[in-house]
A and B are shown apart, each in its own frame.
Chain A
């Protein structure tokens, strides 16, 4: 067996080594008289405190021999001096108190920590170093170890020696020495037989130098020596300090008794005294205790060897123990007295351990543990295991075995239940240190965790915290575990009312969870920190943490309510409104920020402001003078003042800047938000007239740089300043309540009152009346580069987006439209009134109006205002023209100017009628821009534009289509079939009037005129030629969903009569009167004529292919007259006007003809054959000259005679789509050709007289009468259709293109059937 290696002995490298030195060191029991203590107290020290600094030896250098005579030298050594009264198992309550005190003392330190800024993780990592780590952990751990001191099952706490101290002032000191040891006051360990009461005694006589000379003391010492033996006695002189003595350099007691404090410690102990004490302790250790222990080890070893070592002894031992088995059933096994071999082995092991002979101690403990195990003495067994572990570790630090024994000891202690629990803790702490030395921090943390589960909260808290640092120290650092254990620790601290520690632990954990999406964790941590801070009275810090929790939308509503309630309570405790820069309730969506301001562009409504700028630009193209550079685009380089302000917007003093901002309540509970207003910065124009840009800039930077709440107060001041500065701008305040999960768009306004530069910096609001939140846009906008409505188009920096140059106040028009419905049926003609008012003092001029949908809205005349609707539309005498001045092209574009005199004086209002006539069903967005110029132009703007926007929903009403068919019997006469379907969903319509527009057509009712009554027809025609257009009144009611077909007769008015009419009436057009009860609507006057023009324009676009003669029809209808219930809100009847433009009245071929002549002829065939004359009226309805040849033939006509393939294409019935609007070509002719021809019974032929072929030339749109004759030989009925008409159009130069459009340029048509009956005269 070799001695312990030298280098091990002075190793105090690890914490474990130090702990072992501290804890497993020989105990010296101190017995003293009261007077000794009094003498020491002069120095504010107890006796032990006085001696303690000198009981630790860094290099005692005492030679020792092992049991095998191996010499080695002991370096570090320590004596534990304990009063005899303290040598007992500590009272549990006392030790708890002590532990609590340790923690509480550390509290103060913790408080300092938590007042700092939030910890950074990088800073925490080095903190985990044990040297750096809070020293109070060591104090705590030590105190925890001491709770199980002086147990009877371990020998290293048993006193090795006894120091008996008596003062020279004591009466009969020699007797005192004897009395002290012999009293019954000795610790129970000595009395109850757990240890050998015969221990080493050392007699010390204390002499207080202040009590006089040491002569008597020396006498007493001599007496002692003779009584107790010469070597075991000693005298110590203390308190020999006199004035003028050499000052000690350092105070060895400073660390011993920090509780008593002050400089008085050891004040009467001079250097000689100290040296004497040092000498005393060294003598005690090296000359007495160590040799004594060495000696004891030898004798014990001898004894053990004889009784236990060797094969024979082992067998005997086993046999003997088996016999005892039945009796030993107590938990701690049998009682072992000091004289039992087990106790002696334990003493041997412990002494060997103390003297660092680990080999010997290990073998002893091993021997012991088997015995105890057999005896089921579990506490002793565990204690032995524990020591085996330690010994193994001291022998070989890298071995794994030590851990195994520690674990075994730990779990054995735990198995014993509560009595072993504290031992387990101690064992665990040893174990942890072993693991730490090995660098196995993760495992160490686990052990801490295991300890904590057995300990009360306070201890557990400290254990958890130590575990967390272990996780931090492990490689790689296990930060999440670190955080988790800190939270566990904090939680336990809180349970034990150690709030500062709790806050400290939680705060340390914060960096781990920072910017993580683990919402519940983050909420828990912040909420608890906040709550504890509040309990500690640190409201500001509490609120800051609470702020983090407020927007906890993932929590349940009750939790949310509780959190908010707690938060508000804390704030209220503060007693004033709290300014929070990071208030996240409600959530403000900065990206939703929209700024509406009005420079030269003004808006009648917010809806108008939301429309994209380019929509307005294109609408206003013709409106705005192009030379004017105020297109607000800075890219136009301007020589003038606007150049200088190109980085900010222009707004007008007195006009509000509106900011739309979205507020969202992330919670499910309602929150009250009040006093929401914009934070603005205003810098007036400096005296030089230049804008003080730099100044404003610097203020902005300052604001933008603020991010922490520390500068909140400063901000508050600046806010107050700006808000108090009422002379420069007014900021509106808004209050509202957000329901759970509600998002609200809030409009905030700021109105500058004077010229200068206004910058919107942010927004502030008050939550629940107690917390003021701030949000600065700068930082957010810079990040997000958010779009900001119409301003997004301009390439300005985000900062400048909220910066405005305020110019002096200008006139501004406001406008609205009266009587504009939100919903209308298509065709509904209404009068709406535009009200434009000028609230400023100065006047505006040159007003112009541009409408985006000129088809639906046309400006009326000023007189329309006074007229009754719809009476004004009925036929009247001609009127003066007081129209807006504009040309036809502008009208189509929707541009119109107000009359020159229509400028608006300051403070006056202009009313102007507009006509609304929505035609196309669907949603229509009407955009209108009013342009006006200032009478007194300003430097910055000469004109302004007022933009209006209205949304209108147009519902379908009537669906009208027209089909025009040429009359088969009459030229220039057409059958109009008007299909009307009521497409509305609830309204019945009453048809009122159908009119044809223009002077070339005449519309009449389809009278039941007898066929062949040609003369009468012609008369009617002549009678009515004075009318340019004609109307018919069907007086029909059309219910919902019902369809109706109306037939009218349409006659083309000949050119001559047209001219005549034109002379009669110059500009106004009249209509037929057909209505009985109502006067007729004048479709050719304003505004119907206006809309007609628009419709022509638009419908032409749709049907560009339409050629030839067309007719425009107007259908006027109204709602069904119900009971005399009040009329619509407009107070007038609804009038629906449907235009059908470009209805084709074209023939199949451009040439039509008609045969006129007698139908029945009576002739006496006995005289001669009969000769009958007919007239063939041929009409060219094309725009080209046509040459026509009439060929007669005497053959019997056949049905297959048709030569024109196009005429067969639509034979029979087929669908005619109503939506075609009557543009489907008619097929009546074709039908006739096929169906009638077959039934002809031509018996005897007749002969065509005169030439068999006649050629004529027809001018465009003209007709010619060609006479034809036939000879009939016999009476009978004849079909005179056996002729053909060949025609050919003569195109001009552009023949090809036109032929393509027309389809046909030539053709051959068979004759129409004409039946002639010839009778034999009687």
Chain B
């Protein structure tokens, strides 16, 4: 009883928000408290003492744990393994993908296997009926796609609607009408829902993600040029609303229509790109003194933006009108309303900036929490053009300040586009701090889910890593390289070129053989630009021979050769031949270097001047005049202007035997003839003097 009293008293005290001292707690624990300590009698010093080391006893509410709470706690102790492939793949070197194309194809193969199995299961459900699972697991039972009820009745119609059979339900409806039975309003409404959602076509059974991704890309493309008539795009993308189709026919046949019917029709028309008809139907709705619901208003806002041949200010005024009507009909806007407004404002380009901010403020004033899609639309609106020289706004900084540390849950289908657009802006602004902020936001809580499908994730990391290579110190960049590649994304050849340039700036060129090895793994061994970049960086300056550049060059040479064997088009470039030969010479692998000279002739490429000088150096070092003569012959064959200086050097530095001198004489005579033909007369004496 004392405990109860003290508990009650404690609650009173808590209501008064006054701290207890230790002594007082002891007192009230012992005696039944008819004494109420009014806090005002307490001297200020108690409150001063209350600031340090007093207990405030607050009885917490009872916690209810989720069923998977233990698993979640365990999962939070484990971080992503940077060396492992994503868990969807089988963990074996043969089966782990090494490029993004491979990962895409493997996942598709696995998914198609699952689809094939599901097809078999749903076609022969009688073999899968035996249920030994306790408790019952519904997802392992076959699904029924054929309607069971065969007679003509409303229940049959409802079943067909539930199974999403558009044509069958329309037929059933017609049969019911012919038989004379009236179909109830609810059923007709649900039939209208089905028709409007699928646009009078059967839902496609081959709905795999490949089609959906293509559709998304087409959507992004068409949104960029919205001035073009959308009919052409509409046919490719999806369904267009034909006039006098089943939905309109049934709508006209309905004896009584309530608000739901009108709303469904409006939403269907807007979804399938018939905005003017939708607006007409809306006026009819108002004439019948019915009210629309919030989803219909969202569709109508979209419809006003779709209407062609109207100026942007008029469209904005129409949208404002709609919003006023919404208020008049006492319909509360939701998140989708504001997101739709922002999506439409995106098309208004520069004019849309002020209304967008107004919309955002309105949203916050009402108390609706903006989702990631909201911020995505705002970013797209403010940063539509890539070049920042037009005086880009700083709104991205405000957005990131607001979003830091927040965890999001999916509320809008476009939520997963935020991170891609944010990183695009960071990259165009060249701001690394901001990029780190965005990446931190991605890593808080469950926000990882919002990275989106494969191509968006690849784009995000491509931009992020490009920015890192550009702006960050090389050690940090290399740490990120090990962390991200290849477990999160597979590098594009452009990414590797960026990394090489970063290494160049930081003077860490000894890591190039490692990068080449990695790029072979990721399937870039046949990318010309990457190989040329590597060779150029290796050959540019002299490096100590510990660095294994020559091996790397030999490797690259072998890839060139294997590529040659497969294709008929020549893939060598003069610069790469130069670089490889120089690297061989510097490493002292003279045999292979001399073989390179043969390749020059074979592929008809001209060796560079420094290269020939280096060859002369090496011939001098090895002390063989025959090699030197070879070089001069080669230069002569190509009719290079350097041939003369080479022959001079040859005469000066080497001791030649008699027949060598004669051979050299012939050679120089030939070259001098050709030279004299091309050069001016004053050079004749010089040429003949040899």
Do these two chains really belong together in a complex?
no
Q: Give B contacts to A, CB under 8 Å.
A: none
Query: Which residues in A have some Cβ–Cβ distance to B below 8 Å?
Result: none
